[in-house]
């Protein structure tokens, strides 16, 4: 897709949005990085107050490195950024989110409750998208298999989930090595 086509799509999408600041949830993954970069090149997005937020879930030993990476990237683009280190408060919001999310009739009321809750804890950028990432991150940290996580997130295939969250999986090969050693020494 050409750069011009991407710019046109961005400008068209911005025209459809209600007035107000543009807040990008920046995980540091490919999708959010490309989106933030594309919006940073848009004069209209900047005029509306483009900002980036990274939620540090603190589930991985290198989560602080990811937070620094996201902050440095946003600064390089000249975009205001903040990292929300709100593991405990996001957990609190997540607990009531899980129960309400599946009941579509309550959707609007649930969104309103989350908006109010986010304002109360001084995190106005907290959205269901943030909570979705937290949910996935916690499942990965708990060792839940990728197929189950993919189904819970509503992804068409597990490879979609892996593309979004592969950076959260441990690079420790010890478990795999122990499993194959146990199988070979029977």
Is the same domain home to 170 and 124? yes
End position of a domain, from candidates 53, 85, 117: 85
Residues 115 and 81 in one domain: no
CB of 100 within 8 A of CB of 106? yes
Give the span between the Cα atoms of 173 and 135, in whole angstroms.
Answer: 25
Q: Per residue of the chain (186 residues), what is the pLDDT tens digit?
A: 677 888 888 888 888 888 888 888 888 888 889 999 999 999 999 998 898 988 887 767 788 888 899 999 999 999 988 887 655 555 555 554 555 444 555 566 777 777 888 888 778 777 777 888 888 888 888 889 999 998 888 888 888 888 888 888 776 677 778 888 888 887
Is residue 125 exposed (0-12), middle (13-18) or buried (19+ Cβ within 10 Å)? Answer: middle
CB-count exposure of residue 1 (10 Å: 0-12, 13-18, 19+): exposed
Same domain, 76 and 118: no
- Cα separation, 20 vs 80, in Å, equals 15
- Whether 69 and 113 map to the same domain: the answer is no
Helix runs in the chain, H state only: 3-16, 30-40, 43-47, 63-77, 87-101, 107-120, 128-141, 146-153, 158-165, 174-184
- Both 11 and 50 in one domain: the answer is yes
H/E segment holding residue 25: strand 23-25
pLDDT of residue 101: 47
pLDDT at 111: 74
The distance in angstroms from the start CA to the end CA of the chain is: 54
Q: How many domains does the chain contain in total?
A: 2
Same domain, 69 and 97: no
**25 shares a domain with 68:** yes
Residues in the chain: 186
Q: Which of 65, 85, 105 is the last residue of a domain?
A: 85
133 shares its domain with 156: yes
Task: Indicate if 128 and 162 belong to the same structural domain.
Answer: yes
Position 126 scores a pLDDT of: 79
Q: HSE on the CB side for 75, CA within 13 Å?
A: 8
User: Domain containing 154: what range?
Assistant: 87-186
Gyration radius from the chain CA atoms? 19
| Domain containing residue 20: CATH number | 3.40.50.620
Are 94 and 141 found together in one domain? yes
102 with 182, same domain?
A: yes
Query: Are 59 and 104 found together in one domain?
Result: no
Domain-terminating residue out of 85, 101, 123: 85
Q: Is the separation of the CB atoms in 102 and 68 below 8 Å? A: no
């Amino acid at each position: 897709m050409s750069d011009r086509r991407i710019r046109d799509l961005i400008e068209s999408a911005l025209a459809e949005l209600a007035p107000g600041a543009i807040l990008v949830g920046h995980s540091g993954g490919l999708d959010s990085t490309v989106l933030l970069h594309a919006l940073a090149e848009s004069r209209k997005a900047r005029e509306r107050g483009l900002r980036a937020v990274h939620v540090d879930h603190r589930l991985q030993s290198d989560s602080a490195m990811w937070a620094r990476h996201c902050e440095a990237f946003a600064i390089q683009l000249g975009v205001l950024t903040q990292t929300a280190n709100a593991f405990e408060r996001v957990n609190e919001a997540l607990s009531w989110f899980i129960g309400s999310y599946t009941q579509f009739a309550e959707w609007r009321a649930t969104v309103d409750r989350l908006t109010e809750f986010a304002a109360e804890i001084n995190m106005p950028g907290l959205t269901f998208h943030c909570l979705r990432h937290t949910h996935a991150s916690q499942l990965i940290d708990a060792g839940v298999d990728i197929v189950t996580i993919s189904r819970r997130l509503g992804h068409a295939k597990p490879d979609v989930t892996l593309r979004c969250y592969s950076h959260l999986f441990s690079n420790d090969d010890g478990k795999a090595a122990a499993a194959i050693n146990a199988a070979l020494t029977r």
